[in-house]
Amino acid sequence: MEINQETRERIQAVAKALAEMWSRIRERLAKIVRNLWEKTKTVADKWYQLEEEKRVVVRQHHKRNFSRQKITHQVTNRKPQHMVRKIIR
């Protein structure tokens, strides 16, 4: 089946227009992604700076030790000497 010259030219014109449209869309998407990336980088930098400036307050009795060693200490809290015990956590 043969396509005449006029139809072939129309098809080529449509294909060329579609190719230009896709290239413009790609350029716009690339620009949008680049702008979002830059904004995200600046926000992340600010966030990390704020995190570094924050003081982390951890009370001593809330601090957790994740080591495998068991902690031993003596309880000497206003008790007579014969009631002092070792507590193993």
pLDDT, tens digit, 9 for 90 and up, residues 12-66: 999 999 999 999 999 999 999 999 999 999 998 888 877 766 666 655 555 565 6
Q: What is the pTM of this model?
A: 0.46
Q: How many folded domains does the chain comprise?
A: 1
Q: How far apart are CA 87 and CA 75, in angstroms?
A: 7
- Whether 75 has a pLDDT exceeding 80, the answer reads no
Number of H helices, E strands in the chain: 1, 2
Domain limits for position 33: 5-88
Can you give the pLDDT at residue 27?
Answer: 97
Q: What share of the chain is helix, strand, coil (3-state, %, to 5)?
A: 60, 5, 30
